[in-house]
Amino acid sequence: MNAFWAIPAVLIIRILRPIYHIRISKIFSERIGHFVPDSAELIVRMSLEKNNIRDFFYLGSVSNFQWAKMIKQTLKVRGTLVRIIGEWNRYIPGGTSHRIEGSLTLSRDSQGLFQRFDARIPFTPSEDKKCKQWLKKFGWKEGDPFICLLVRDSAYLNSTSLYRGDSGFDYHNFRDSNIETYLSAVKFFTSQNVWILRMGRVMMMPLPKNMEKVIDYAFEDDQSDLLDIWLFANCTGCVSTASGPDVIPWVYRVPQLNVNALPLTHAYSFTDSIWVPKNLFWRHTQMPLSISEYLDHGYLETNQYEESGIEIRDLSEIEILEAAKEFWKRISNQSEINQDNEYLQGKFWEIYRSWNGYSKLHQWIHPNFLIANSWLKSRERELF
């Protein structure tokens, strides 16, 4: 029935193109890991478009209603009628010029748009006040530094309506980590008078109770979409396993430490971040992979590592602690110039830039991005 009015609407839009160019597209809103960077990328791209272009967007299922509310301040996000016209424009041949891709960078900001242009959407004074009051009930004081800790496991995706049949999201399990191996790093940060907020909506295992300056947000009853966004946007730093919500710090220019992060090919080189991948070994020989082999086997599914004979081992608690110390020196301005570190970084980049997929995923490199020096030093002989 929609065809009776939608098809004429599409034809009118196409006729008007020389005078008034209209484009209609969907924003991938089902997963926060795409919703935030894609819409932020669109905010920048729309600000650079020609004056006669008018873009309208619609959403699918919304993974975070606070972010949906915020992007509506900048993007023309509309409802059912725009969605129907947009869908018919796709059905009828010749509509390519009347739609826009949600992301030209694979939801990665590989062009550094969030760093070169300001895509940050401000919070309202009442939103700021509400979130700060939530923190204060745990003893946090205005100005206290806090770090968001996001350690991926399979609990959230397996609990959602996105669940994929019998296998669920097992293809992503290689990205999971055990929260217990992060406890030494947590204690280190709190010893520096830094608060830790363990993030996540649904997680398998809580942190030990009564840890000083630790808020296990993942197990709090009063979680909200607003807190999900605000905490990541306003934290001093983010420690993550390269998973979903850690895209929010990209937009708000928050430094990151990504540990147990795979694949190395997809490192967040466009952010102010330190990247520490899991340790990979050849199953039959138990020999560790070199940097070149990490790049040749940068898979996005668990079974691909298994079929290639690669064993994935999580970083040890000590390795995570050493990376945490390195990250804290960085964000507290205690880092010192070290010739050994510069030498190892240079060797890494020489190999990384020679990888044939480099130019596609790493078009713009943040000047503060690096692979953890502690990891490179500890495995120098094997990696190089």
pLDDT at 158: 60
Q: What distances in angstroms separate CA 147 from CA 169, 185, 192, one per listed residue?
A: 28, 11, 11
User: Tens digits of per-residue pLDDT, 364-382?
Assistant: 999 999 999 999 999 999 9
pLDDT at 155: 73
For the cut 70, the answer to whether the pLDDT of residue 167 exceeds it is: no
Q: Is the peptide bond before 255 cis (omega within 30 degrees of 0)?
A: no
> Both tokens of residue 174?
């290689």
DSSP label of 314: P
DSSP label of 280: E
CB atoms within 10 A of CB 375: 22
pLDDT at 336: 83
d(CA 21, CA 120): 27
d(CA 119, CA 180): 35
Query: Quick one: average pLDDT of 259-267?
Result: 98
What is the model's pTM?
0.94
Interacting residues of 353 by C-beta distance below 8 A, sequence separation 6+: none
Query: Quick one: average pLDDT of 326-330?
Result: 97
d(CA 384, CA 377): 11
Between 303 and 163, the more confident residue is 303
For the cut 90, the answer to whether the pLDDT of residue 50 exceeds it is: no
Find where tokens 């193109």 sit. Answer: 17
CB atoms within 10 A of CB 156: 19
Amino acid at 333: N
Alpha carbon of residue 39 to chain centroid: 13
Domain ranges of the chain: 3-107, 128-383
Alpha carbon of residue 208 to chain centroid: 26
CATH of domain 128-383: 3.40.50.2000
For the cut 90, the answer to whether the pLDDT of residue 211 exceeds it is: yes
pLDDT at 159: 58
Annotate 89-147 with DSSP letters as a single string: HHHSTT-GGG---S-SSTTS-TT-HHHHS--PPPPPHHHHHHHHHHHHTTT--TT--EE
Q: What distances in angstroms separate CA 39 from CA 76, 139, 337, one per listed residue?
A: 11, 35, 37
User: Tens digits of per-residue pLDDT, 9-49?
Assistant: 999 999 999 999 999 999 999 999 999 999 999 999 999 88
pLDDT at 154: 76
Between 163 and 82, the more confident residue is 82
Q: Could you give phi then psi for residue 214, rounded to 5 degrees? A: -120, 130
pLDDT band at residue 135 using 50, 70 and 90 as cut-offs? very high
Mean pLDDT estimate for the chain: 94
User: How do strand 310-313 and strand 279-282 relate by DSSP bridges?
Assistant: antiparallel
User: Tens digits of per-residue pLDDT, 168-205?
Assistant: 557 779 999 999 999 999 999 999 999 999 999 989 99
Find where tokens 């995923």 sit. Answer: 361
For the cut 90, the answer to whether the pLDDT of residue 165 exceeds it is: no
Contact 89, 99 (CB under 8 A): yes
